[in-house]
Amino acid sequence: MSILINQATKVVVQGITGREGQFHTSQMLAYGTQVVAGMTPGKGGQMVLDVPVYNSVAEAVKEQGADTSLIFVPAAGAADAMLEAADAGIQFVVCISENVPTLDMIEVTHYFDRKGVRLLGPNCPGLISAGQCKVGIIPNHVATPGPVGIVSRSGTLTYEVMFALSQRGLGQSTAVGIGGDPVKGTNFIDVLKLFNEDPATEYIVMIGEIGGTDEERAAEYIAANVKKPTVGFIAGQTAPPGRRMGHAGAIISGGEGRAEDKIAAFKKAGIAVARHPDEVADLVMKAAGRS
């Protein structure tokens, strides 16, 4: 099993005719993902990588039964692309786009909540259910099927940890990159709940970073609800206060968001904390009795 996506998932790629959309569509197809449609306004009727392109998401849903959307649309149009997907009946939207305005995302997340549509992102790498389906930009070769569920604010650290786990013979059930923007859709607790209920996920890895208090709230949730062994890592431990490091949400301000506070919350919740990314795999191995 897996969470959120599987072999039955049918994907429409918004922005498939662009360079990034076309490249990552090719990678998803190579992984076995059912990319059933693409969408670029004004380019309907074309074929990209043998995938039919439509002028609207509604057409892709009607003609191909798409249930999941992957968005490669520039920041200025990303919010409209998300809203269009929700209005077309898509139930799961994954937005890769970076630099989407915060005010736009406030409108989008409110609308998605009202419609009951799940959003992942923006500014995220998407997700992969190892051996089944990929929706996003996570490299194909780092994933192997197994019992470890990963949820992360950092894309590149997700890839690094997945590769280290795979090298040690510990595959993944699903890896989910939630993105690092201050206003986004699916959060740590949403994914932790799904992993906690997924029988294929035996161990959980949570990768956080400085900024905000999402990790602290997630630690409280784990302490109260999650019985599966959990390993954590916090990126940005040497970042100076007040300076943005990487993601828009990765900034320490107002006395909140410090790495030491997040690490302390993890330890209080019984989460094993890695000192560096490669140690995550060592701690999972230890939890699995294979150290």
**Which residues are annotated as catalytic?**
247
C-alpha distances out from residue 102 to 98, 115, 213, 236, 267, Å: 11, 20, 18, 22, 32
Coil, strand or helix at 124: coil
Nearest C-alpha neighbor of 261 from the set 225, 212, 227: 212
Unique residue bearing structure tokens 């690490």: 263
Unique residue bearing structure tokens 């380019």: 43
How many angstroms separate the CA atoms of 277 and 152, rounded? 12
Tokens of 10: 């049918």
How far is residue 115 CA from its own chain's centroid?
21
Nearest C-alpha neighbor of 182 from the set 109, 94, 235, 126: 109
To 10 degrees, what angle do helices 259-268 and 214-225 make? 0
How many angstroms separate the CA atoms of 182 and 123, rounded? 10
Supply angle C-alpha 186, 218, 189, rounded to 5: 30
How many angstroms separate the CA atoms of 211 and 281, rounded? 24
